[in-house]
Amino acid sequence: MSRTHVDHNDIAKFAQDKVNLPKAKADEYRAQARRLREKLENYLGEHPDFSLKKMMISGSLAKGTGLRSLNDIDVACYVSGADAPSDIPRLLEYIAERLRKAFPNFTPDQVTPQTYSISVSFKGTGLDVDIVPILYYGDKNWYGNLVSQVDGSFLKTSIPLHLDFIRKRKQKNYQHFSQVVRLVKFWVRKEKRERDGFRFKSFMVEMILSKLSDQGVDFSDYPEALQSFFTYIATTDMRELIVFDDCYAPNTVGTITTPVKIIDPVNAENNVANLYTNTQADMIVEAALDAGDAIDSALSATTKQDTLYYWQKVFGSTFQV
Ligand SMILES: Nc1ncnc2c1ncn2[C@@H]1O[C@H](COP(=O)(O)OP(=O)(O)OP(=O)(O)O)[C@@H](O)[C@H]1O
Ligand SMILES: [Mg+2]
C-alpha cells in the first residue's frame, strides 16, 4: 500500500480543518440549548401541570457527531400525550403556543411551526433551535412517540437510550468512532450534491458503524475504517438485517419485508430504514462501490496528483493536503 502522499494523519487533519464542527462552536450551541431547557424547567417549577415536560438536546450535537455545516440545534421536547392533539399541524400549534408562554421574552414570530417540528429562532448570531415533539406518557426511560422528521409518523423510541448506545461505541473506539461517523457523513453530503435522489440518514450511518465496531473493526486508521464501511455496504448490498442486543433479544424482531432493515437499538419494532426503496438502497450501494474503488486507487497511486484525485472522489474538492 502506498501512503506516501495521503496517510491516516492527513485524513485526520482534513477532518479537523474541514469536516468537524469546532469544539468551541459545539459548546456554544449546547449552551444555547441548555438555556432554553433551563427556562422551561423554571417555568415548570412554577406551573407543575404544564404540558411540556422536558427538553433534551438530541441529534448530532448530543452525540458529538456534528459537522461544520451544522445548520440547526436539535432539541426533543416531551409533551404529555394525554391532552395533546395527535393531528400534526394542531400538535405543532399547541406546542408553539405553550413555548411562547414559557419563553415570554421571545416575540411570537420567533416560535414558528415548521412541517414536523417547531423552530425557535434567535436574533443575531446563534443557530435556530429545531424542536421535535415527543408524545410522552411518563415512561421512566423516556420512551415516547417521536414525530418522524421525514413523514410525521410517530416512532416509539428513547433519545437518552440512543445516547447511551452511541456512548458505548464511542468509548470502545475513543475519538475514532465519532471521527469516522463525521467523515462518512461528509461523504454522504457530497453524494447528495452529486446524485439526484441520494439519501442516507445519519442515524443509519451510525448504526452501520456501530455494527462494525461491535464486530471488532478497528477505527484508529481512517483509510481502513472507511474502507470497512464501504466494503460492508457493497458486500451486503445494503440488505442485511442490522440489529443489536443492547436493549432486547434480536430474535424478537419480526419479519421485515422492506429492502433496508436497520432496527432501532432501543425498539425492536422500529425499522429506522423503513422508508428506503430498492432504488435508494441501490444508489447507496453504487456510491459505496465507487468510494471503495477510489480509496483502493488512492492507496496504490504513485503520484501525489493521482492520490489527491482519488481522495477527492470520496470527499470532494475541499480535500487537499
Ligand atoms: N427513525 C428513527 N427512529 C428512532 N429515532 C430516530 C429516528 N430518526 C432519528 N431518530 C433520533 O433522532 C436523532 C437525530 O437523527 P439523525 O441521527 O438522523 O440526525 P443527526 O445525528 O442530528 O445528524 P445530522 O448531522 O444529519 O443532522 C437520532 O440520534 C435518534 O435519536
Ligand atoms: Mg441534526
Ligand closest to Cα of 206 equals: 1
Ligand 1 near 188 CB (within 6 A): no
Q: What are the tens digits of pLDDT across the range 174-187?
A: 999 999 999 999 99
> What pLDDT is recorded for position 138?
96
Q: What percent of the chain has pLDDT over 70?
A: 99
Q: Which helix (H) or strand (E) holds 13?
A: helix 8-14
Ligand 1 center from residue 303 Cα (angstroms):
40
Reported as a pLDDT band with limits 50, 70 and 90, residue 126 is confident
Mean pLDDT of 178-199: 98
Atom number in ligand 1 closest to CA 203: 17
Q: Is pLDDT of 249 > 80?
A: yes
Q: Which residue has the higher pLDDT, 246 or 126?
A: 246
Closest CA to 37 of 76, 69, 91: 76
Reported as a pLDDT band with limits 50, 70 and 90, residue 2 is confident
Nine-digit cell at 104? 415570554
CA dihedral for 67, 276, 214, 219, sign (positive or negative): negative
**Complete DSSP assignment for 69-135:** T---EEEEEEEETTTS--SHHHHHHHHHHHHHHH-TTS-GGGEEE-SSSEEE--SSSSPPEEEEEEE
Q: Is pLDDT of 149 > 80?
A: yes
Q: What are phi and psi of 74, to 5 degrees?
A: -80, 125
Inter-residue contact 182 to 157 (CB < 8 Å)? no
Ligand closest to Cα of 202 equals: 1
State the number of CA atoms in the 13 A half-sphere of 51 facing the CB.
Answer: 18
Mean pLDDT of 186-212: 98
Ligand 1 near 210 CB (within 6 A): no
Among 203, 209, 260, which residue has the most ligand 1 atoms within 8 Å of its CB, making it the best to mutate? 203
Nine-digit cell at 227? 474502507
Q: Is pLDDT of 83 > 70?
A: yes
Reported as a pLDDT band with limits 50, 70 and 90, residue 47 is very high
